[in-house]
Amino acid sequence: MESYSIESNKKKSRLPARLDFAQSATGLILGLFIYMHLLFDSSIIFGKTAFGFVSGMLELSFLSDTGHGYPIAVFFAVTIISILFITHALLGMRKFPNSYKQHRIMADQVIMTDHMETKLWYVQAVTGFIMFFAGSVHLYTMFANPGSIDPYLSADRVISNNMWFLYLVLLVCVVLHANIGLYRLCMKWGWFAGSDARKSRLKLQLLRNRIIIFYLVIGVLALLAFSVVGMGHRGKAGERYLSQVTSVEMFVGMPQELAQTRYIAESNE
């Protein structure tokens, strides 16, 4: 009884709750970013011109007199996402097994309990571990080449740089991790609970599964489209997509011949 009274008189720390909130907030932002990122990437399904237009908008080409855009905008975006990514990963590691023995205990409990929500947490933990390495490679690539988002250069990374397998693994992990995470956030914080919690949970589960299938389908189709472009461009790896530049420069009044000559000169520098 004496020990109980001593423990009960101690001031409880709010730090774990604050760290949980920070993990949820960074996860929410990253999850929504993944939705938009995959949608932008999937524009390659509609052709090189569509992807070139989207990548030009991301580089703020509409604010540039020459239509080339500002790769520094991509650099700043990658910096912000990297900070959120590292912060979220470090916060998530608090609940991740820190030894093989703990991992085996957790895996055995998942099998023994046969509880779907526990299995989803386990999938999220495993995909998060894989993403920490695969996602870091992708972010470093964008850090080193912030101006390399165009149909040819992106396709060259997939085929000529042999990164297709990395992107496939990253796609599966990102889609599963993000959607399971957003679903669990809704459960944890009571979002969209409604008057019937059980019915709302079933609706969210159905929505989660449909979104996972949707993003996996468009992600695989986009990767296949990049592969087709990359294989056709293998002999000219490193060359930028010409139509993306000339179409914008023609829009601002530059003749096509001059735009093409200027583009070729810059590509050979």
More confident residue, 72 or 212: 212
Task: Count the residues in the chain.
Answer: 269
Per-residue pLDDT at 254: 44
Per-residue pLDDT at 5: 53
Average pLDDT, the chain: 82
Residue 266 pLDDT > 70? no
Per-residue pLDDT at 22: 92
pTM of structure: 0.80
Residue 260 pLDDT > 70? no
The topology (CATH level 3) of 21-267 is 3 helical TM bundles of succinate and fumarate reductases (1.20.1300)
CA–CA distance, 10 with 28 (Å, rounded to integer):
33
Per-residue pLDDT at 253: 43
Residue 257 pLDDT > 70? no
Contact 204, 186 (CB under 8 A): yes
pLDDT digits (tens, 9 = 90+) for 37-78: 999 999 999 999 999 888 888 887 777 666 666 778 888 999
Average pLDDT over residues 197-209: 89
pLDDT digits (tens, 9 = 90+) for 213-255: 999 999 999 999 999 999 988 888 778 887 544 444 433 444 4
Indicate the domain borders of the chain: 21-267
Average pLDDT over residues 113-130: 86
CA–CA distance, 41 with 54 (Å, rounded to integer):
9
pLDDT digits (tens, 9 = 90+) for 13-29: 788 888 889 999 999 99
Per-residue pLDDT at 249: 44
Q: What's the sign of the alpha-carbon dihedral 254, 260, 265, 267?
A: positive
SS3 159: coil
Q: What's the sign of the alpha-carbon dihedral 163, 167, 168, 170?
A: positive
Residue 167 pLDDT > 60? yes
CA–CA distance, 178 with 211 (Å, rounded to integer):
10
Per-residue pLDDT at 267: 44
